[in-house]
Copies of this chain bind each other. A is one copy, B any other.
């Protein structure tokens, strides 16, 4: 029931990129080395971010990844959906319409979604709302408050100063 590790990786990677300005693209190898991650698998996740239009990629020498939008217009929900897909946490398999109960209960209106589904979806919605109201820029600001020096360190690791 846990989320993929890719979400954590993606968020940290996006944050790192947001600290560099839009100078030059950064290769997946460098991004992975920054946090000691397996290069190829991180690359897989980055491709998902490209597909979701959160990153842009450039091939060839001096190629790599770059933020596609301002950190102010990227929410945590965007990142989670990009990596995990748009399906909801709870999946209703309509078991209410199977088995003896359903067989004996012919008169019901199947049109309305079952109450269990609706209740669980309300919780899903609250979760998504909480993710959608937190922008990448907010997280970065909070991160700077904790430790203002980290931005310079990141810039140095990626050879920006």
Q: Is the CB of A150 within 8 A of B108?
A: yes
Contacts of A67 in B (CB 8 A): none
Contacts of A157 in B (CB 8 A): 100-101, 104
Interface residues on A, range: 35 or more
A84 on the B face (CB < 8 A): yes
Bound form: Cα–Cα A22–B147 in Å: 58
Query: Which of A43-51, A54-62, A125-133 faces chain B?
Result: A125-133
Bound form: Cα–Cα A112–B139 in Å: 14
Residue of B nearest to A11 (CB): B116
Q: Give the interface of A toward B (CB within 8 A).
A: 1-5, 7-9, 11-12, 15-16, 32-37, 76, 84-85, 87, 89-93, 95-96, 98-102, 104-105, 107-109, 112, 114-116, 118-120, 122-127, 129-131, 134, 138-140, 142-143, 146-147, 149-150, 153-154, 156-157
